[in-house]
Structure 1
Amino acid sequence: MAISSPARVRGKYKQPMASVRYDDASVRQVPFKDLRLADFTWSVPWRKFRSVHGQAHYSGRYSSATMAGPVVYESRLELARLLLADMDPAVRGIHAQPCHLTARVGDRVRRHVPDFLLIMESGAVRVVNVKPADRLTDPEIAEALAWPGDLVERHGWEYEIWSGADRVVLENVRFLAAYRRPGVVPEAEIERAWESVQDGDRLGVAERRLAAERPDHEARPALLALVWSGRLTTDLSRPLSGDWVLRRSL
């Protein structure tokens, strides 16, 4: 794929540009106003993944159920947002470090790599930046996050600055993520659980009905797999217990 040059006037950026890196090591640069979801087909994260002993950031690769493959993250906070996106049935695509943005803001040329781009089932596109809440009070950081938001929203996409979620919710999602991969719980058991569970069941009641002659705990994985997939919903702000109220969403 050819590498095109950004539009400039006497060395200065004429319009905001987006650069996307691909799995064949090529880079495509397009005016941001022309950026489309198709430009992310076969794309890879802008920065190469690094893991160095003693590094300050906690980075890694998360095996995403949504993407059926790895998605990179560079901090525990990014991993938390990634887990929430992976569990959200409204999200059908996740791209980490999707592109490199360059724009003239005032008298400066600014550059930025968003943390995530989420493709929603509704067709909406959401660009997400993850930053701890205590750093958002820094004027420089606030400015660095503001101009990409203006650019993204003018493009008709959504913009989100994410700083965390309820601790119990995150703990529940991390636990439920153990059931995200196909085959962890046999599909036949999941479907049998779906046929058995009734809207408004408490988790403990649904387990006992599904277990029949087996120990109750043997029925729980299939029910939790349904919660992960979104076919069953519950109040994740409450710690996991047999009192979880299950709702059928499909």
Structure 2
Amino acid sequence: MSLACRVGQRHETDRRVARTYSVSSSEGSVAGGAAVSFRAGGRACEREPWETVSSATLAAASPWRTFRWHRGQQHYSGVYWSATMQDHVIYESRLELARLLFADFNPSVHHIGAQPFLLQVEVGGELRRHIPDYLLITDGGPVVVDVKPADRLSRPEVAFTFAWTRPLVQERGWRYEVWSEPEPVELENVRFLAGFRRRWLFDAGLLDEIRAACLAGGVVGEVAAGLPERDPAEVRAGLLHLLWTGELVADLSVPLGPASGLGRRS
């Protein structure tokens, strides 16, 4: 088959853990005529000029490639049910899963596409190809994301690929992000809150009572005491759901617990 034919302030969370890199122009100049291949409905392959393809078209595409699982494989791939997408999203490594969690947790993200397209362009006289890890559609516009462990960013082939990808993305007025390991405590908090992401599991009346009880702030451990007629376990679960949705916020740079202070999203 032809290659041409696959709870806190969450904006701040994404910015803190995103890392950006550049490579000098001496390593190769990017020529015009970049093209993008993507899989439209039914997995049919389409190809368009990179400079004119819309983000909506790419967001509607199927993953350019999918993954197989086999005994002894070195990477950890799988699927994650995203509250943002109300569907499963694939990932190819535990680090990609972490970025997926942060994207799902961010209220400004409205679409998450994995392995969204194949970007092709001539660089330094040779045809180069690259499949980014994610395409995010956000309040601030499209974001193209590459996920890579920090200890691999200095590899010449990795740095070179990211160096020619960045200007192509930015010339569209989109944001390009290279994402490495987040702060461990923050990741654990987001991973924990993800267990409370399914909205249909929570009684709407209870959530309204929790919202009212948290109007003046307070701490996590006090909310259940303010609703004595409700099951404390259900109150805590509902509170954690509101932290996931971003209606309530807490400092996720420290372990989340009963003494964690609560605020309202501004």
Compute the TM-score of the two structures, normalised by the length of structure 1.
Answer: 0.90
Q: Aligned pair 1:245/2:264, yes or no?
A: no
Q: Aligned pair 1:183/2:200, yes or no?
A: yes
In structure 2, what is the Cα distance between the partners aligned to 1:94 and 1:44?
A: 11
Q: Out of 183-192 and 88-97, give the one that drifted further.
A: 183-192
Q: Deviations over 1:102-146 (max 9, x none)?
A: 000111110000000110023x11000000000011122111111
| Structure 1 position 213, deviation (Å) | 4.2
Q: Aligned pair 1:136/2:153, yes or no?
A: yes
Count of aligned pairs: 239
In 2 relative to 1, CA 137–199 (structure 1 residues): closer, same or farther, beyond 3 Å?
A: farther
Percent identity, aligned pairs only, is 44
Q: Out of 172-181 and 49-58, give the one that drifted further.
A: 49-58
In structure 2, what is the Cα distance between the partners aligned to 1:215 and 1:187?
A: 15
CA RMSD of aligned residues (A): 1.9
In structure 2, what is the Cα distance between the partners aligned to 1:153 and 1:14?
A: 14
Q: Aligned pair 1:157/2:159, yes or no?
A: no
User: What residue identity is the alignment partner of 2:241?
Assistant: A
Larger RCO (alpha carbons 8 Å, 6+ apart): 2
CA contact (8 A) 1:63 1:70 kept: yes
- Give unmatched runs, 5+ long, in structure 2: 6-30
- Structure-to-structure mapping, 1:19-30, within 5 angstroms: 19-30=37-48
Helix, strand or coil at the partner of 1:161:
strand
**Correspondence for 1:174:** 191
CA contact (8 A) 2:59 2:116 kept: no
**Correspondence for 2:36:** 18
Helix, strand or coil at the partner of 1:43:
coil
| Structure 1 position 243, deviation (Å) | 1.0
**Correspondence for 1:10:** none
CA contact (8 A) 1:46 1:100 kept: yes
**Correspondence for 1:125:** 142
In structure 1, what is the Cα distance between the partners aligned to 2:173 and 2:234?
A: 47
CA contact (8 A) 2:249 2:262 kept: yes
- Give unmatched runs, 5+ long, in structure 1: 7-12
Q: Aligned pair 1:224/2:201, yes or no?
A: no
In structure 1, what is the Cα distance between the partners aligned to 2:181 and 2:35?
A: 30
Q: Out of 197-206 and 171-180, give the one that drifted further.
A: 197-206
In 2 relative to 1, CA 41–163 (structure 1 residues): closer, same or farther, beyond 3 Å?
A: closer
User: What residue identity is the alignment partner of 2:180?
Assistant: S
Compute the TM-score of the two structures, normalised by the length of structure 2.
Answer: 0.85
CA contact (8 A) 1:202 1:245 kept: yes
User: Match for 1:202 among 219, 224, 233?
Assistant: 219
Helix, strand or coil at the partner of 1:55:
coil
